[in-house]
Amino acid sequence: MDCLFCKIIAKQIPVDLIYENEKVVAFLDINPVNPGHLLVVPKVHSENIAVAADDDLIALTLAVKKLAPAVCAVTACDGWNLEVNNGNAAGQAIDHTHWHIVPRRKDDGFKHWPGHPYAAGEAAKIIALIRENLMS
C-alpha cells in the first residue's frame, strides 16, 4: 500500500508523534493553518469517514476530546475547528481517514466558506432525498 499515513503508522517515515494509543496517532500537520494544527489518524487504513470502522471513529473522537484542550492551552487559542475532508473535491489530499484539529484566534484571518440560501422548495426536496438515501 502506498499510503503516506500508513507508512507513518508503520514507522517507515519518521514523524514526531504527539499522541498514540492502540487505535490512533496524532502529529503536527506539515502545512499548518495555524501553529499547533494537528492530524489525528486511525491506525487502520480506511479511505474516508464514510467507510471507516465505527470503533475507529469513536477512537478518533475520544482522541480529539483529549488533544484539542491541550493544543489550546499551548497555543492560547480562542477556539478550534475540527475539520474532516472527504474526497478530493472537499480538500482531502491523502486517502486515509484523518481529522484536523485547527487552533483558531479571532484575528487569524482564516475565513469559512460563504453560505447561499436555498431557492423556494429546494430544501424540502433535498431533505426528502437525503432521508431516502440514508445508509443503515
Question: Which pLDDT tens digit goes with each residue over 44-94?
Answer: 999 999 999 999 999 999 999 999 999 999 999 999 999 999 999 999 999
Q: What is the mean pLDDT of the chain?
A: 94
* CA of residue 71 relative to chain centroid, distance: 15
Does the annotation mark 112 as catalytic? Answer: no
Q: How far, in Å, CA of 116 to CA of 94, rounded? A: 29
Task: Work out how many domains the chain is built from and give that number.
Answer: 1
Domain containing 60 equals 4-132
**According to the model, what pLDDT value does residue 136 have?**
53
* CA of residue 53 relative to chain centroid, distance: 15
The yes-or-no verdict on residue 134 having pLDDT over 90 is no
Question: Three cell numbers at 47?
Answer: 479511505
Q: Which of 11, 8, 56 is nearest to 28 (CA)?
A: 8
CATH number for the domain that contains residue 50: 3.30.428.10
Residue from 37, 96, 98, 100 carrying the catalytic annotation = 98
**Main-chain dihedrals φ then ψ at residue 135, nearest 5 degrees:** -80, 145
**According to the model, what pLDDT value does residue 113 have?**
79
